[in-house]
Amino acid sequence: MNTSILASDYKDFPYWWDRTPRPVLDEIELPEKVEVAIIGSGYTGLHAALQTARNGRETLVLEAQEAGWGGSSRNGGQVSTSIKLNLTELSRRFGPEKARVILQEGVNALEWVGRFVREEGIDCDFAQVGRFNGAHTPRQFQRMKSHLEQRPEDFDSGVYLVPPAEQSGEIGSNCYHGGLVYPHHASLDPARYHQGLLDRALASGVKIKDRCAVSRIERQGNGFLLYTDSGTVQAKDVVVGTSGYTGSVTPWQKRRVIPIGSYIIATEELEESLVDQLIPKNRVITDTRKLVVYYRASPDRKRILFGGRVSLNETDPNKSLIRIFPQLASTKVTHSWMGFVGYTFDHMPHTGIRDGVHYAMGYCGSGISLSSYFGAKLGQKLAGLPEGRTSFDDLPFPTRPMYSGNPWFLAPSILYYQLRDRFFS
Ligand SMILES: Cc1cc2nc3c(=O)[nH]c(=O)nc-3n(C[C@H](O)[C@H](O)[C@H](O)COP(=O)(O)OP(=O)(O)OC[C@H]3O[C@@H](n4cnc5c(N)ncnc54)[C@H](O)[C@@H]3O)c2cc1C
């Protein structure tokens, strides 16, 4: 990144960590035996743990770094239904009935996470602000219009079109040609949300051992033996919630998840009137480009938080920010950070069981609601509760020949998307 735009107090870690630093946990001995062992302490792992512990099963979470260190404390805090594919695409793959059930599950996840935050009283700035999705070309706006006309009314209801002439009510930028508003989408402070979840997991009796990477899982009798640097632990059941950080310990899942870097910057504090002009309704914002950008105001509405996948010749999210908001050309950046999102070959999140090991992962960059929901569902399943079933349980989790977890094809595909965004959208 161009260093002249960096503020004198610049930090290379998530803005969220200023207010919610990575937690310092009590050091615990690795127990010899537990009922449920969970790998990864993000939303997936902790939601699973909360359910198993609250339903009376002895639960241990093992985390390679610090608690919540992965996507769950470094994301953009934009909460959506998390399903990337639309009804037409899903119907083509799974038939119209299953397609509707899948989309409904996304809506359930969004509602579920809002209810969870409310009922547990988690102080994480959760707000149903709605999403504005900008059309980056007139053709994309026409596509939005026809998708909306064909869309059944019964899920993610209330979505409406914003014509170009009314766009300034949503965003202080001329770079779009209208867009769509999803009024039920929300925003939160991801690290506060994770901290609230962590506090509740600990209070429910979950044991968490951080800085303790699992290096091998071995089948043993009716259960498993997990190897770590601190020794081994036997577990009756194992859950893997490693998403974009999935490694060789679960090679089958590693062959199915594509780790993609996503980058975010936080601006210095801005004038209140400027933020009001840029994002007047406090929406979270995305657009129709294949090379994703996502942005919003900080919960205190003093800064803009801007994220995206970078392209080959643009490794600096600040350039994309200024293209959208030229008003910020001389604004300094106080924080920049990155993390890995877990993408999948079919653009779908996946949960299921493989060789006796339960997993949920691959949320394709919008996983706040679904990682929480799938994590909780996995936990319910392991607690023997029928509500643990999801309509994703029986979906195939595809890989590709020659793919072993190292996404060599990303550079050419980014170039392709860049050209497509510029010339063919
Ligand atoms: C920069 C960025 C921006 C994003 N923005 C959004 C957004 O705005 N909205 C949205 O909905 N989603 C967003 N996401 C995606 C979202 O953050 C994730 O989908 C979600 O956090 C996944 O949670 P998880 O618990 O499955 O995985 P993670 O939170 O990534 O946790 C996985 C954990 O597993 C640990 N681990 C890995 N291997 C091992 C091992 N062998 N032993 C022990 N521990 C291990 C890792 O250290 C890591 O802490 C974003 C992600 C990133 C990176």
Does residue 76 register a pLDDT over 50? yes
Query: According to CATH, what is the number of the domain 3-416?
Result: 3.50.50.60
Q: For residue 245, how far is its CA from the centre of ligand 1 (angstroms)? A: 7
Q: Between 301 and 156, whose confidence is greater?
A: 301
Does residue 349 register a pLDDT over 60? yes
Give the model's pLDDT for residue 312.
Answer: 44
Each residue's pLDDT tens digit, 33-68? 999 999 999 999 999 999 999 999 999 999 999 999
Does residue 246 register a pLDDT over 50? yes
The band of 148, judged by pLDDT with boundaries at 50, 70 and 90, is confident
Structure tokens at 89: 């695409």
What does pTM read for this prediction? Answer: 0.95
Each residue's pLDDT tens digit, 201-242? 999 999 999 999 999 999 999 999 999 999 999 999 999 999
Q: For residue 244, how far is its CA from the centre of ligand 1 (angstroms)? A: 6
Give the model's pLDDT for residue 154.
Answer: 60
Contact criterion met (CB below 8 Å) for 242 and 339: no
What is the C-alpha separation between 320 and 286, in angstroms, rounded? Answer: 12
Give the model's pLDDT for residue 149.
Answer: 83
What is the C-alpha separation between 135 and 133, in angstroms, rounded? Answer: 7
Q: For residue 75, how far is its CA from the centre of ligand 1 (angstroms)? A: 8
What is the C-alpha separation between 397 and 252, in angstroms, rounded? Answer: 10
Average pLDDT over residues 56-85: 96
Average pLDDT over residues 239-246: 97
Nearest atom within ligand 1 for CA of residue 369: 11
Position 173, amino acid: S
Give the model's pLDDT for residue 10.
Answer: 95
Mean pLDDT taken over the chain: 92
Average pLDDT over residues 308-330: 79
What is the C-alpha separation between 128 and 253, in angstroms, rounded? Answer: 34
Does residue 418 register a pLDDT over 60? no
What is the C-alpha separation between 288 and 201, in angstroms, rounded? Answer: 37
Each residue's pLDDT tens digit, 293-306? 999 999 999 999 99
Q: Is 308 exposed, middle or buried (0-12, 13-18, 19+ CB in 10 A)?
A: buried
What is the C-alpha separation between 422 and 221, in angstroms, rounded? Answer: 56
Using DSSP bridges, classify how beta strands 293-297 and 304-308 pair: parallel, antiparallel or unpaired. antiparallel
Give the model's pLDDT for residue 157.
Answer: 74
The pocket around ligand 1, CB under 6 angstroms, is made up of: 39-45, 62-65, 69-72, 74-79, 213-214, 241-245, 247, 249, 262, 264, 294, 307, 338-341, 361, 363, 365-368, 371
Structure tokens at 121: 């009283």
Choose one of 41, 112, 188, 246 to mutate for the ligand 1 pocket test, by most ligand atoms within 8 angstroms of C-beta. 41
Q: How many CB atoms lie within 10 A of CB 92?
A: 11
Give the model's pLDDT for residue 67.
Answer: 98
Q: For residue 71, how far is its CA from the centre of ligand 1 (angstroms)? A: 3
What is the C-alpha separation between 93 and 1, in angstroms, rounded? Answer: 41
Contact criterion met (CB below 8 Å) for 6 and 333: yes
Average pLDDT over residues 117-139: 97
Query: Domain map of the chain by residue range?
Result: 3-416
